[in-house]
Amino acid sequence: MTEMITLEDLRPAEGSTKKSKRVGRGRSSGHGKTSCRGHNGEGQRSGSSAKRGFEGGQMPGYRQMPKLKGFQVINKVEYAEINVSDLAKFGMKEVCLCCLKEAGKVRNSAQALRVLGNGELDSAVTVKAAHFTASAKEKIEKAGGKAELV
């Protein structure tokens, strides 16, 4: 049979509470004389409480920063852009963003691949990308390859 828990049995979790700092109770307490307030100055006086962001008279950080003007794009996609002429140089039969990242041809921070229509393509290549320009798609298919949207 289990015991009944009463209000008297309730205790805070171990380590969740600690004793408050007792200041101004003599030197032996470790918080005597100036009571952890330091010597003189505004913080020593009674009733002092610095405003939020107050840095002792120094220009606060939030006022040092320039104001942002205009519209900020939060969810901007960072594209890796490659030209059709680059596809032949890679020497791959299938080109996708992860393959290019592994080969070190594009930045690791890139989130999507965009293929542009600069240059010519000789061999058939399957390209998986998020965006193709009209001329890029045409050149890839003309060379016998595939342009797949991911």
Domain residue ranges of the chain, discontinuous segments joined by +: 21-58, 79-149
Cα–Cα dist 121/125, whole Å: 9
Q: Note the pTM of the prediction, 2 decimals.
A: 0.52
Q: What does the pLDDT look like over 69-127, one tens digit per residue?
A: 888 888 889 999 999 998 888 888 899 999 999 989 999 999 999 999 999 988 899 99
Cα–Cα dist 145/82, whole Å: 16
Per CATH, the number for 79-149 is 3.100.10.10
Cα–Cα dist 150/131, whole Å: 8
